[in-house]
Structure 1
Amino acid sequence: MTLVVDASVACKWFIAEANTADAEALLVGGSLLLAPDLIVPEVCNVACLKLRRGEIASDQAAAMVDGLPDLFDELVPSVQLAGRAFAIASTLAHPAYDCFYLALAELRGMRLVTADRRLLGRLARTPWARLLVDLGNGAIGTS
């Protein structure tokens, strides 16, 4: 199985929080993992925020930034997704950042694994809901 993973899931690979074990299971579950290359600056931003707030140490923040790319089988250039992400974001009136992940899942015919409650709620009654997998509900193995 090949899955698109967003930053809400990837951050859990480095920071212990709710559903971290579920996120870590993706790394050893045999699935191929993809994301838009946008995930790198998004995770970098989370690392910076958590470091500033004193929630993580500097070596942990550095590990997030340095180690992230190696955990993916493919990081897709955002420029390849921008047109579709824009169209989805415009339709949903939702931030374009999230829509890059959704565009990748849609264009490749894959599921998007997320822990982003806002995204899950926003897409609940849309045609894109079928592409989503809620990290916290234990349904990652379904298709």
Structure 2
Amino acid sequence: MIMVVDMSVVLAWYFEEAQTSKALGVLKLIGKNGVLVPELWWCELENGILMGERRARKTPTDSAAFLKLVRALPIETDQTPRRQISDRILDLGRQHQLTAYDATYLELAIRETVPLATFDEALRRSARAMGVSVMPTAG
């Protein structure tokens, strides 16, 4: 089943954080089923890579290898014009005290009725409150 994946999961792969094993489980599902992302996902990815390089956690060579992996994944970028979903994003942000970025992922998962993969606890709670399946599961 296709899912929406936010940057907390993707950057856990890149920075090999504590949640890496769970993030790799999501990566395997993406390789098999694909992923749906909002347009801002790409900007967040680029920003995360740049911040990792500036903080000397990764090198440009590391970044290039990671981008090659990411670009090989079956990623579908949502093409819905932002002006058509802006009101829903703002409503979700207000209702759940989310950033516009996080509300964008939640809106996409709701609209497409697909699970949302995130490590962000506020986003996980909000997704569950809206009836969205959340991945990876706890435990």
Report if TM-score (shorter chain) is over 0.5: yes
Instruction: Report deviation, 1:4.
Output: 0.8
Could you tell me whether the CA contact under 8 Å between 1:19 and 1:135 is conserved in 2?
no
CA distance change for structure 1 residues 66 and 18 in 2, over 3 Å: closer, same or farther? same
One-letter code aligned to 1:91:
Q
One-letter code aligned to 1:36:
P
Partner of 2:138: 137
Distance 2:55 2:80 in 1: 29
The 3-state SS of whatever aligns with 1:131 is coil
Gaps of 5+ in 2: none
RMSD (Å), alpha carbons: 2.4
Answering whether residue 108 of structure 2 is matched by residue 107 of structure 1, we say no
Gaps of 5+ in 1: 139-143
Partner of 1:87: 91
Distance 1:133 1:44 in 2: 24
Residue identity over aligned pairs, in percent, reads 28
CA distance change for structure 1 residues 73 and 45 in 2, over 3 Å: closer, same or farther? closer
Answering whether residue 16 of structure 2 is matched by residue 33 of structure 1, we say no
Equivalent positions of 1:24-63 (< 5 A) are: 24-29=24-29, 30-63=32-65
Instruction: Report deviation, 1:84.
Output: 2.1
One-letter code aligned to 1:133:
V
One-letter code aligned to 1:22:
K
Could you tell me whether the CA contact under 8 Å between 2:9 and 2:23 is conserved in 1?
yes
Distance 1:3 1:66 in 2: 21
Partner of 1:141: none
